[in-house]
Structure 1
Amino acid sequence: MIKTVVMTILAAGLLMAGSIKVNRNDTCAVRQFKVYKYPSWIAKAETAKGETAYFSSPKSMFEFYFQPDRWMEFGAATPDDITSLTVTDFNTLNAINARSSYYVYGSTQTSPAGDDLVPFAKLEDAEKFAKKYKGKRILRFSEIKNSLIRLLNGRI
């Protein structure tokens, strides 16, 4: 009986740890791509005004994060107005907290937006990916600066 209860709880946890839910009309706030076409790269931001912005990649999410006033329709003038950031774990395709994720920089894998940062919930997964796809560094959220995003976009 206890085994059945434990298995039920574990299964429920797996079901709740799903992907970022989008529909066919959701577009990337930065690039205007239909995000449903790229499920392994979807990210989103929620603002204090209750608005949700979807992104076709983590790089696009960071562009929004560093300069939210460029997209005022989402009600965020500064990064402090962004209440939640979510990315897709590249290994599991589960939605994960962007602020606690590990990001692989400089890999051979590209997103719909080009060179990008590949997110993972676990450091071990990021390390395996970096080794397999020639990633140059593994970064935490706080280490990512607007200058890196500009570099990835070819603006530096």
Structure 2
Amino acid sequence: MKKHYRLPHFGAWLLLLCFLLGVSNSRADQQIEITKQDRCPVCGMFVYKYPKWVAQIYFKDGSAYFYDGAKDMFKHVFDTAKYTPGKTADMMTEILVTDYYEVELIDAKSAYYVIGSDVLGPMGHELLPFKDQEAAQEFLEDHKGNSIIRYQDVTPAIIESLDRRG
């Protein structure tokens, strides 16, 4: 009896090829292009001066905004209409932060954030993002951090408390 093997659909082959080649649709894997004109919509600071702290938000309409740290990025997430009138948080397609040690863009929703450390960002006390818990724990111990939190645990009250520490 002869066995018949069915070939996977073209899309499955393409997906496998992309996986093997390390291709991704995420902007986190791409080099960011910050110009001298890019300003944080929250504080107005020129972002290009602080590449180690850059955060980004992309919207469904293709617009993108840069931030001089995760703290201001979260302020935009929490009050989207204030900083980008006519837009809502559910119109955001991608939210990125810069890993403190690796200095590379990572997905903000999967990052680990250290708060309460002795390291200050461009806008004072910050949430310091890391792509894995081990790096965040090492940083917390080395820099007197208070705790490690995840994206979904960040609240407006936490952001306000960071500003009050300044």
TM-score (norm 2): 0.79
* Residue number in structure 1 paired with 2:136: 126
Give the drift of 1:71: 1.7
Match of 1:60 among 72, 75, 78: 72
1:45 correspondence with 2:57: yes
Residue 18 (structure 1) shift: 5.3
User: Could you tell me how far apart the structure 1 residues matched to 2:31 and 2:144 are?
Assistant: 26
Question: What is the alpha-carbon distance in structure 2 between the residues aligned to residue 88 and residue 21 of structure 1?
Answer: 14
In structure 2, stretches of 5+ residues that fail to align are 1-20
Quote the residue 1:113 is aligned against: 123
Helix, strand or coil at the partner of 1:153: helix
Shift of 1:23: 1.3
Question: How many residues end up aligned between the 2 structures?
Answer: 142
1:6-155 aligned within 5 A? 17=29, 20-73=32-85, 75-77=86-88, 79-154=89-164
SS at match of 1:40: helix
Alpha-carbon distance in 1 for matches of 2:84, 2:104: 28
Task: Tell me the C-alpha RMSD between the 2 structures.
Answer: 2.0
Alpha-carbon displacement from aligned partner over 1:39-59 (angstroms, at most 9, x marks no partner)? 110001011222111100000
Runs of 4+ in 1 over 3 A off after TM superposition: 16-20
Q: How far apart, in 2, do the equivalents of 1:44 and 1:53 lie?
A: 6
1:4 counterpart residue number: none
Shift of the alpha carbon at 1:124?
Answer: 0.8
Separation in structure 1 between the aligned mates of residue 54 and residue 110 of structure 2, nearest angstrom: 16
Secondary structure, aligned partner of 2:51: coil
Shift of 1:21: 2.7
Based on CA coordinates, which of the two structures has the bigger radius of gyration? 2
- Determine if contact 1:18/1:94 at 8 Å carries over to the other structure: no
* Structure 1 residues without counterparts, runs of 5 or longer: 1-8
TM-score of the aligned structures, taking structure 1 as reference length: 0.83
Per mean C-alpha deviation after superposition, the further-off stretch among 129-138 and 44-53 is 44-53
CA distance in 2, matches of 1:88, 1:60: 13
